[in-house]
Amino acid sequence: MVELELTVNGKACMLKIEPGERLIDVLRQRLGLTGTKEGCGEGECGACTVIMDGRTINSCVVLAIQAHGRDITTIEGVGNRIRPHPVQRAFVEEGAVQCGYCTPGMVLAAKALLDKNPDPSPQEIGAAMSGNLCRCTGYDKILRAVQRAAREVTGT
C-alpha cells in the first residue's frame, strides 16, 4: 500500500492504495465519483477523461499514484444545476446529449480546450474532441455545442 495525496475538484484527499490501482478505479470506487465512465479500458474512447493539472488524460490508462500531488477535475467538479459551466449549458441547449455515456468526458475535453483557448477554430475544436468517441450523436451537435460555449465564454 502507498499513500496517495491529491486534490480532486478542489478538495484535498488522502488515501492508501495499491500501486497498481488505476486512477479511474480510485475515483469511481474509493471516492464515489461515478461521473467518470469506463468505456474501453485501454485509452481508446475518452469516456474516462479527467483533467489533471489542466490537461485531459484517460483515467483508465493512468495509475492513481501518477496523480500523487496533482490536481484532478472530474465532471462532478465542473458545474451544477445552479451554476452550470458554459460547456454544460451549451451541450444541453444544442442537443449534444443522447445516451450520455460519453458526455462527461466530452464536457471535460471541451472545458480543457476552452480553458486554454477560449476562441478555438472549428479545426481546433475537432482535434480537441477527437479523443472522445460517441456512438449516438455523429458528433455534429457536440462540435456545435463547443462552438456555442466558446461564444459564451468569449462573450461574442
x/- map, 51-70, other proteins, by CB under 8 A: -x--xxxx-xxxx-xx-x--
Residue 118 binds to other proteins (criterion: CB under 8 A): no
Residue 7 binds to other proteins (criterion: CB under 8 A): no
Residue 149 binds to other proteins (criterion: CB under 8 A): no
**Strands 71-73, 11-17: pairing kind:** unpaired
Nearer to other proteins, 69 or 154 (CB): 69
Amino acid identity at 35 = G
In angstroms, what is the minimal distance from the CB of 66 to other proteins? 6
Q: Give me the phi and psi of 122, to 5 degrees please.
A: -55, -35
Q: Check the CA dihedral 43-104-134-116 and report its sign.
A: negative
Scan residues 17-46 and list those touching other proteins (CB under 8 A): 18-20, 22, 28, 33-46
CA distance linking residue 2 with residue 8, whole number of Å: 18
